[in-house]
Every structure is written in C-alpha cells, then in structure tokens.
Structure 1
C-alpha cells in the first residue's frame, strides 16, 4: 500500500515537472518574435531610404506627388509592427522563462547591468512597458499597439480617398472621429490601471 502511494507520488511529481518544463517551448515564440521584430525594423529603414529616394527624384523633376509621405507612413506602420513583436517577445520571456521578480530593485536587476549601447543610453530601471506581470497585461499592451497600427493604416489609406459628395465628407469625418475616440478610450482605460 505505501509502496503504491510512493509510486503514484513519484509519477505525479515527474508529470508536474514535465508539464512545467514545457514552458520552455515559449522560447521558440520569443526567438521568432525577436527575429520578426528585427526584420520589421530593417524593413522600416528600407522604407525610409526609399522615401529619401522618392523625395530627391521628385525634387529633380519639380513634381511632389506625396509618395514620400506614403513611404514614411509605411515605415511608421512597419516600425509599430516591429514594436508589437518586441513587446510580445519580451513579455513572453518575462512571463514564462525569467525568474526575476517584478518588484526587484533596479540595482539588483541583472537585465539592466550592461544594457547600454556602447556605454550610452543606460537604463536606470525597467521601462513601464517591460513590467508585464500577467498574460492579460501583455495582451492589453499588444492590443494598444495594434490599434495604433490600424490607425496608421487608416491614415495611409486616407491619402487615396476621393471626396466628391457631402456624404463622402461626412463618412470621412465620422471615420476620423471614431479613430480619435478609440485612442481616447484606450488612453483612459490605460490610465485607470
């Protein structure tokens, strides 16, 4: 009887350990998110270089078509997508892998030691967006950035809108109002946290 209880206890302990070790599968998502973030940031830089090319070629021709602004808005869109992936990857790492408590003093935080760029931009403490304590908080932060991406996409598409009638102008105004209202609501929801 005691031998079978011991065996059941040992099997349960091994099962719990195996299940708990599956959290390291999150490393695949962390690595993929950070790699995707790097690609987004590099792609955004390509849009910026292309915006300069469009600007200088339009200056030579003497015709400014607004294509430069569209390239810059596309760069902002891609940078925001990279930021989403960065926040998501760092949040997953903090939730599933890292064992640093959220209320650790900045002088004891291992991540802050040596986190400067050639001795510049040293962080005194973790930024608020890096302090993620639950999956709901991570989803909220990612959701806020996704809303910003959608608003930038709307702004990008608004350059192509043709306003021919009063109804077109009214629809466009309602769209701008709803976008502004969504930002206002998100800001107020974030303030209450």
Structure 2
C-alpha cells in the first residue's frame, strides 16, 4: 500500500547519504595538496642547487634564486588552500575530525561554517597573490616614473586589502572561531 511517510523517510535518507559524494572533492583536494607540496619542494631544491652553482657577479643570479624559492612558497600556499578546503568540506558535510580535538592549539583547520571556510581560503589566496606579485616584482624593470607609480599603487592596494581582510576577520562573528569569541567575552566581562 502507498505510504507517503515511508517514501518521504526513504527519500530523506537517500538525500542525507548523497552528501557522501563530497568525499570526492575532499580526496582530490588532498591529492592535489600533496602534488603542490612536492612541486614546491622540487622548486625550492632547484633554487638551492642553483644558488651553489650561480655566479653572483652576473646580473640576475640572485634574483633567479629568490624567484625559485618564492615560487616554491607559492606552491606550498596553494597546497595549503587545498588542504583547508578539504578539511572544511569534510567537517561541514561528513563529520568532525575527532583527532583534531587532541590538538587544540592548531586552530587554522577548525571550521564551523561555510563563511569561515571561504574566509580562510580567501586569506591564503590573497597570500598567494602577494607572493606571486613579489615574484613578478623581482624581475620587473622600472624604466619610467609611471612604472614606479604603478608599482607603488599595487603595493598600496595589497597593503590595504590585507588590512581590510584583517579588520573583517576581527569584526565578523561568523568568521571568528569559538575560542576567539570566548576570549573576547572573557575580556569584556573582566
């Protein structure tokens, strides 16, 4: 016999289990993290090896070493974005990571809502952009006053965006984690 409650319960169970498909981006995010860490490490090692062979008297040797090391850091940061994404998606859709509670001092991977996840990813993406800008700035030749003005403007925009991001994370209750909220409440009561 047709029972709407049973159909509804079955549909809701299927809908609830459908969230397990988010394991796919979690898994590939972790694999991509590993990939970017390996690529970053290879680039840093390449920079270190180049530094032993480089003739620092010739133009550009020092900049080449710094560019390789900074490029490695850039890859590490992209890997960190993917790691934060994977942890966040897992905790939001699958389950809290129980082992995390044994290491309370590590708060970067504590994600309670989607806004917090987006904010943490955005912070690291901005850092990637800053590092990429720094890497490009090393090889940039400033020939005119306009070049210098544009370069200074870009640095100013990066500084302002970092400051605004810092303000937002300190003032937005959706983004602050529970321990930060508790510290602020304790401070206000004392």
TM range (shorter): 0.7 to 0.9
Q: Structure 1: give runs of 5+ residues left out of the alignment.
A: 101-108, 114-122
1:160 equivalent in alignment to 2:139: yes
1:146 equivalent in alignment to 2:125: yes
> 1:167: how far off?
1.2
1:77 equivalent in alignment to 2:74: yes
The residue aligned with 1:170 is: 149
| 1:87–1:160 distance in 2 versus 1, CA, 3 Å | same
The residue aligned with 1:184 is: 163
Aligned length: 170
1:38 equivalent in alignment to 2:17: no
Q: Structure 2: give runs of 5+ residues left out of the alignment.
A: 173-190
Conservation of the 8 A alpha-carbon contact between 1:41 and 1:78: yes
> 1:28: how far off?
0.7
Conservation of the 8 A alpha-carbon contact between 1:112 and 1:126: no
Question: Does the residue aligned with 1:66 lie in a helix, a strand or coil?
Answer: helix
Q: Tell me how far apart the structure 2 counterparts of residues 37 and 52 of structure 1 sit (CA, whole Å).
A: 22
Residue-by-residue CA offset, 1:118-138 (whole Å, 9 max, x unaligned): xxxxx3x15222221111211
The residue aligned with 1:56 is: 52
2:9 maps to which of 13, 16, 19? 13
Residue-by-residue CA offset, 1:161-181 (whole Å, 9 max, x unaligned): 221111111111111111111
Conservation of the 8 A alpha-carbon contact between 2:74 and 2:132: yes
Q: Tell me how far apart the structure 2 counterparts of residues 138 and 32 of structure 1 sit (CA, whole Å).
A: 17
The residue aligned with 2:182 is: none
Larger-gyration structure (1/2): 1
Question: Does the residue aligned with 1:162 lie in a helix, a strand or coil?
Answer: coil
| 1:22–1:70 distance in 2 versus 1, CA, 3 Å | same
Conservation of the 8 A alpha-carbon contact between 2:90 and 2:96: no
The residue aligned with 2:177 is: none
Instruction: Give every structure 1 segment of 4 or more consecutive aligned residues whose post-TM-superposition deviation is greater than 2 Å.
Output: 61-65, 109-113
Q: Tell me the C-alpha RMSD between the 2 structures.
A: 1.7
Provide the TM-score with structure 2 as the length reference: 0.83
| 1:99–1:128 distance in 2 versus 1, CA, 3 Å | closer
The residue aligned with 2:92 is: 95
